[in-house]
Amino acid sequence: MNVLISGAGIGGLALAHWLHRHGISATVVERAPALRNGGQAIDIRGAARTVVERMGLLDAIRARHTGTHGIVYVDRRGAPIARMGGDDFGDSGGVVAEIEILRNDLVRILHEAAPEAEYLFDDHITALHEGADGITATFHRARSRTFDAVIGADGLRSGVRALAFGADRQYVRDLGMYGSYFAARSSLDLDGWEVMYNLPAGNGVGGRVLLLYPVGRDGEVRAMFSWSSPTLGLDRRVTATQKAALAEVFAGAGWEIPRLLDQMWRTDDFYFARTGATQLDGWSRGRATLLGDAAFAGSLGMGTSMALVGAYVLAGELATTADPTSAFRGYEAGMRDYVTRNLKRPPGSDHGFAPASRAGIWLRNQVVRTMTKLPGKSAMTGNLQAAANAITLKDYPLASDAVTTP
């Protein structure tokens, strides 16, 4: 079997690794000219830990842990108001999980674990045509080729989904927020704590949030800015316009924000996006299927873990049957309950993240101060600990038991 994967991100690279272990050839096409650098800190929770352990990568991932062990909420002077430790809701159930790693570090580890795949960087799929002998992909640069299956592991705005399913407006639900993050430096002694600073609605938008987290290196941080707002009509390909919008939304804000915005103008490591969630009745069309955010975006803290688990299950099902469409049915049947459970957002989660008023911010902080001591506290985070483990992983026979240790 020969499989084409669109997207050299977490799901796509993990899938390439597992396909090789099952004796299946993988070609990975990536629009960027190289592996994408930068990115936020991400968590590996529940069953995903079992997956990376079976990949032989758990030690390498732990070695790149950001060192973060909880989150603290601060006021406009930077004084702590409330905090939650990484283990207050179990190793996988809190706002911060016990294993946190920068996205670019995880991508590098996964890429090194899939050296046998063929990589087509600086390219993308422009058309898909299914025939009796397979599915033919037309590329922007490379020559057209026929594959047994095509996997869209290319994010919320998936190109494969657009080609195989149709326009985004049918399958992406807007979540009403913008999010942006970039690398910066800070003189604050964060001592391994992520820091959240909330501002009420202002400057023409709703509630605003700065999440600042250390990444285990001297003074290096990731600054994540989010805010509630109707769509602003920004071109997601024009970075200068995005930076200007972020600066306008947070103009006049205090604490560390002016120093961080000053650094924003000088960095190329900058991400900006409108948040959304996928809504699909099925993840496959013929010989094409979707993985990760292309199929199941919209969780709180489970995107990386679901992509890793999905890659394991999808590769195993493809190895079990010679018919990709049957494999896709098995993949979705094995994943659907787990995904549905992890896409369920806790009550009040969106309003609690970015309250629009000072009174709302105060109330949220009081809840955080007490919730770790309350009976049934796990329900307040959507029972994330249980949801992260809500799948029994099959033991798929492997063609090769070799693992790659970066």
Under the banding of pLDDT at 50, 70 and 90, the label for residue 301 is confident
Q: Distance between alpha carbon 212 and the CA centroid of its chain, in Å?
A: 18
Across the range 13-23, mean pLDDT stands at: 98
- Tokens coding 291: 């993985």
Domain range for 161: 2-36+57-65+102-170+277-345
Q: Is the pLDDT assigned to residue 125 strictly greater than 90?
A: yes
Q: Decide if 265 is inside a domain.
A: no
Q: Is the pLDDT assigned to residue 295 strictly greater than 70?
A: yes
Under the banding of pLDDT at 50, 70 and 90, the label for residue 198 is very high
* Residues making up the chain, counted from first to last: 406
Q: Decide if 175 is inside a domain.
A: no
What residues contact 211, with CB distance under 8 A and at least 6 apart?
194, 195, 196, 197, 223, 224, 226
Higher pLDDT, 375 or 266: 266
| Contact call for residues 97 and 51 (beta carbons, < 8 A) | no
Q: Is 7 exposed, middle or buried (0-12, 13-18, 19+ CB in 10 A)?
A: buried
Q: Decide if 153 is inside a domain.
A: yes
Q: Decide if 92 is inside a domain.
A: no
Q: Is the pLDDT assigned to residue 84 strictly greater than 90?
A: no
Q: Decide if 231 is inside a domain.
A: no
Q: Decide if 337 is inside a domain.
A: yes
pTM of the model: 0.93
Q: What is the pLDDT of residues 263-290, one digit of tens each?
A: 999 998 899 999 999 999 999 999 999 9
What CATH number should be reported for the domain holding residue 286?
3.50.50.60
Between CA 210 and CA 5 the distance in angstroms is 35
Under the banding of pLDDT at 50, 70 and 90, the label for residue 66 is confident
Across the range 357-365, mean pLDDT stands at: 92
Which residues are 193's β-sheet partners? 70
Q: DSSP labels for 166-233?
A: --GGGTEEEEEEEEEEEEEE--S--TTEEEEEEE-SBTTBS-EEEEEEE-SSTTEEEEEEEEE-S---
Q: Is the pLDDT assigned to residue 351 strictly greater than 90?
A: no
Number of domains making up the chain = 1
What's the count of helices (H) and strands (E) in the chain, helices before strands?
13, 18
Q: What is the pLDDT of residues 199-209, one digit of tens each?
A: 999 999 999 99
Q: Decide if 123 is inside a domain.
A: yes
How many CB atoms sit inside 10 A of residue 216's CB?
A: 17
Confidence (pLDDT) at 381: 61
Q: Decide if 156 is inside a domain.
A: yes
